[in-house]
Amino acid sequence: MSYDVITISREFGSGGRTIGKEVAEKLGIPCYDQEIIEKLAEESGFSKDYIEDKGEYATHKNWFANAFASSGTHHGSSNQDYLWVLQRRIILDLAKAGPCVIVGRCADYILDKEYNCLKVFIHASIEKRIEHILANYGERKESPEKRLSDKDKKRKAYYKYYTETEWGVAKNYHLSLNAGVLGVERCVDIIADIYNME
* Amino acid 198: pLDDT: 66
Mean pLDDT by 10 residues, the chain (198 residues): 89 95 97 91 86 60 43 58 92 95 95 93 95 83 86 90 91 95 97 89
Strand (E) positions, 19-116? 31-32, 73-74, 77-78, 100-103
**Three-class DSSP category at 142:** coil
Q: What is the pTM of this model?
A: 0.85
Q: Is the dihedral of CA 124, 173, 112, 154 positive or negative?
A: negative
Q: Which residues, other chains included, contact 194 with Cβ-Cβ below 8 Å and sequence gap of 6+?
A: 118, 174, 175
Q: Write the CATH number for 173.
A: 3.40.50.300
What pLDDT score was predicted for residue 77?
61
Domain count, the chain: 1
Q: According to the model, what pLDDT value does residue 106 have?
A: 93
Helix (H) or strand (E) holding 177: strand 175-178
Q: What is the pLDDT of residue 76?
A: 46
Query: What pLDDT is attached to residue 70?
Result: 40
Range of the domain at 71: 5-195
pLDDT for 56: 57
Contact call for residues 72 and 79 (beta carbons, < 8 A): yes
